[in-house]
A and B are shown apart, each in its own frame.
Chain A
Amino acid sequence: MKVLSRYGTRKSSGDLAIRDEWMDCDAVLIGRSTACDIRLTDPRILLEHARVTVRSNEVYVETVGEGSMSVNGNMVDLAKVSELDVLQIGPFQVIIEPNKGDSDLTISVELINPLGDELENLKSRANIGIKSIGISKRKWSWAAALTVLAVALFWPMVISWFVPEPLVNVEQADTYDAVVTPTEFWTSGGISAAHKFFGESCEVCHEKPFIPVQDTACLTCHQSIEHHTDPVHFPTASFDGDKCQSCHKEHQGNQTVARNDQDFCVDCHADLTGQEPTTMLRNVQDFGTDHPEFLPSVVVDPALRQMSREKSMSGPDLPTENSGLTFPHADHLRKSGVRHPTEGIVELGCRTCHVPDEGNVSMLPIDFDRHCHQCHTLTFDLQLPDRELVHGQPEELFMQVSDIYNATALRGGYEEPDAPVIVRRRPGTPLKETDRVAARNWAEEKSAQILSGRFGKGQCGECHSVVDNPTTGVWTVEPVYITEKWFPKSTFDHGSHSEVGCLSCHAVDTSEKSSDVLMPAIEVCQSCHGGEVASNRVPSTCITCHDFHIDGMKPMRPEKSAASQTGSRLAVVDPDALRHVTSVSP
């Protein structure tokens, strides 16, 4: 078979230069190898790529090995081709042409996809330089800035306009559901524990945009918060011009907003007597190192309920309390016990009488019926075992005892051997008129005898001061007034000190006298507590024991308290709930 292969080369002018080659073979092998019949010198062509054969005047093309080709754009491995078909092998276009001369097969080949200039090729493929990536600083910058503004500023602000304004009052705290505003993302710090229940509703405190938080917001709940002192008497403590916010800083995390720093108090109280010469308070700087000795408030006259706060607990002239009551602690707390009327010998402890209140902070007042009466029964006559002297009403006492014996005499049956027969007669037996006088005489005599005797005056006198009235000759029980709080300007939480025994602070076991004031001296407290910066004691500031807003003082912001109640969107609280305390405690 004679084969004409025509190698076409495109010139720079665009014309095609053709080089003809004749050969004689059975099948035409196409490839890169020198052994091939049609040699295509391009690295993209395999050594032996394809084979062309003629069978029955039909031309067939097939790939060899891994070779690939396409006929009219379709990838095939074997194809019957005609003069109209466009065959592509690698970068070469192969066309079966009409036979020329005596050729049996004419194949033209043209490189239609040359490798091109290596350098230009390389340059066009090399993406060097950050600009080739196609990112723009300008676009990124605008996108970043607008994203931040949209997400962090505008979106929360616009959405918050559609959130209903919150209404909150401390009395609604139990049912209040916080209105969460999208501006939560704006908060500068955590809300204090006490304000958390409405802490997600920014507008509760921040009432108007761009206006600082006003006192009225605080006074919505804290209407009657008391003053520190009487500003008329002590103008240096008027706190005029200060706002609630001056001291109470919110958004400081999960803690109280009350000030707890010693310096705040010491700023004035270090030289209070210099600033306010009329003050009764003494200067103080630090609980551990410079705090005056405790001055307990003690009763000096129970009848007038007169208190005094002059003598300190460190002596040598210790304060004494004149409550009008005789109660030696040591006698009651004897290790050997005391005699109980029905239970024999019992040992008393502090908790037998001193019971903490429900909050476990202070002790409940001592009560005769609950704490004394079990042992100290007020029976006065063995013949009348179920009758007792009335307690707490000395003016009724004489009438009561007289009535009891008059009734007994009239009824009869009083079995004391020394008593007259008419009194000892069978109960219910009628009395003659003359016997009635005798009975009444006996009754008066007996009641006078009882009242002035061991079971009357004597029994009362065990605990009370009993005095005779020289003009009437009648004795009476002096009034009793017991101090409820010896240190009324401080708070002491018994509950949080429950691990410490009572005797650690109250020297009751050695107290023989009722007038002993069994409160501790400051050194007892200082053995555990130090000042704010104490390193080897419990650091304690003024607020640990004292309040800033003093109970009983006038409202700190009376005018604003009133204003807060008329605020249109603020919950109104019953005005009667406002406390207007006028008296000033010493």
Chain B
Amino acid sequence: MHESLLIYRNMRYLKVAVALVTVTGLLYALHSPVENPNGGTWLGYTLGTLSASIMGWLAWYGVRKRSFGGPSIRMEDWASAHVYLGIALVIVSTFHSGFQFGVNVHTLLYFLMLIVVFSGVAGLYFYMRFPRLLSENRRGLTTDMMLGQIAELDSELSAYAVTLDDATAKAVFNAVHNTEIGGNLLSQLTVDNPNCPTLLARKFVERSDGSHDEATRRKLLTRLSKKEGLLRRIRQDTKLRCLLQLWLYVHVPFTFATLAALVTHVVVVFYYW
């Protein structure tokens, strides 16, 4: 991603997409069929064939990017064209539909396609923005290094906790042993958890009065705060890396669903021609 897909080759594929959309838009504007504009007119069939071809080509990108040493077209060309033609597909297929929507298999296809395209746009946004956020957040640390620091703090906290009253020791024990990093999808996407045991332990120690000496309290607080900071960074890191992959878990399955709906759409249209 050293050169943005969006400005690749002086935005060659943006120009292609804009030209495509402009031509189809003009045709749609000039077209005045007998009935309301729809997918069954000559322009409707033309734009439908075009949309289906674009869909197939866009889906082929998933195959193409896994095969190395294929045709001499560079992967960056594929990716850049994939992005722009994918967005153009929304407009071309809308013209194909003639803005006729209903509760039927045809609109189902349109709806699934929108999910694929918009998840792709989300993925593109993530790819554009997150690498910088990730490195800013990590500040040179790896995940293992951050985890190591947390483990060190944990062992120190455990050692201090031994000398403390039961309530504090329990809170610190929870902070050491029950603080979750990652977890299920929601947890991986959450940075600030108000029920994080480390946060609760810090608040507990902050609130506790002179039941233990000030030096120990200060030592606990500094370590808990430091651990909190590390947790926030590692959770932010987890969230961003999760999102970087998560969009594909929408994009790819819905691509398959869209292709199935495309087959259904074409068969149905000609079954009841």
Binding site for B on A (CB under 8 A): 32, 41-44, 46-47, 65-66, 115, 117-119, 121-123, 125-130, 132-133, 135, 137, 140-149, 152-153, 157, 183, 185-190, 202, 206, 209-213, 246-247, 249, 251-253, 259, 261, 263-264
Contact = CB atoms under 8 A, between A and B. Distances in A.
A32 B169 CA distance: 10
Interface string B229-273: 000001000100110011011001111110111011001111111
Given A43-B172, A211-B273, A252-B38, A185 B154 contact: no
Contact of B271 (A122, A146, A157, A261): A157
Closest 8 CB pairs of A and B: A249-B35, A119-B151, A144-B257, A127-B182, A126-B181, A140-B253, A141-B256, A145-B256
A147 B259 CA distance: 12
B18 interface: no
A144 B27 CA distance: 35
Contacts, number: 177
24 contacts: A32-B169, A43-B158, A43-B172, A44-B173, A47-B169, A117-B151, A118-B154, A118-B158, A122-B147, A126-B180, A129-B182, A141-B255, A144-B253, A157-B271, A183-B271, A186-B105, A188-B104, A190-B102, A202-B272, A206-B271, A210-B271, A212-B273, A249-B40, A253-B36
B146 to A, nearest CB: 10
A266 to B, nearest CB: 13
Contacts of A202: 272
B4 to A, nearest CB: 24
Contact of A47 (B112, B158, B165, B180): B165
Given A119-B151, A149-B263, A188-B38, A210 B166 contact: no
Contacts of B36: 252-253
B172 A144 contact: no
Contacts of A211: 273
B238 A128 contact: yes
B104 A130 contact: no
B131 interface: no
A185 B272 CA distance: 12
B39 interface: yes
Contacts of B257: 141, 144-145, 147-148
A225 B129 CA distance: 66
A142 B102 CA distance: 26
A137 B185 CA distance: 15
A503 to B, nearest CB: 41
Contact of B152 (A46, A118, A123): A118
Contacts of A206: 271-273
Contacts of A41: 162
A393 to B, nearest CB: 56
Interface magnitude class on chain B = 35 or more
Contact of A46 (B102, B166, B172, B184): B166
B34 A259 contact: yes
Contacts of B162: 32, 41-43
Contacts of A187: 102, 104
> Which of A144, A202, A211 gathers the greatest number of chain B CB atoms within 10 Å?
A144
Contacts of B25: none
Nearest to B40: A188
B54 interface: no
A397 B102 CA distance: 74
A247 B34 CA distance: 7
B148 A119 contact: yes
Contacts of B34: 246-247, 249, 259, 261, 264
Nearest to A137: B252
A129 B242 contact: yes
A245 B100 CA distance: 19
Contacts of A133: 184-185, 188
A37 B159 CA distance: 20
A47 B182 CA distance: 33
Contacts of A183: 268, 271-272
A132 B172 CA distance: 27
Contacts of B271: 157, 183, 186, 206, 209-210
A54 B224 CA distance: 43
Given A46-B166, A141-B255, A122 B151 contact: yes
Nearest to B271: A209
A278 B259 CA distance: 58
Contacts of B267: 153
Contacts of B256: 141-142, 144-145
Report which residue of A43, A126, A153, A252 has the largest number of chain B beta carbons within 10 angstroms of its beta carbon: A43
A217 to B, nearest CB: 12
A452 B152 CA distance: 139
Contacts of A115: 158, 177
Nearest to B39: A188
Contact of B272 (A123, A186, A259): A186
A65 B169 CA distance: 15
A44 B166 CA distance: 9
Nearest to A133: B185
B104 A145 contact: no
Interface string B100-136: 1011111010001000000000000000000000000
Contact of A123 (B147, B184, B259): B147
B270 A137 contact: no
B6 interface: no
B63 to A, nearest CB: 13
B71 interface: no
A188 B106 contact: yes
A182 to B, nearest CB: 12
Interface in B157-175: 158, 161-162, 165-166, 169, 172-173
Nearest to B272: A206
A153 B264 contact: yes
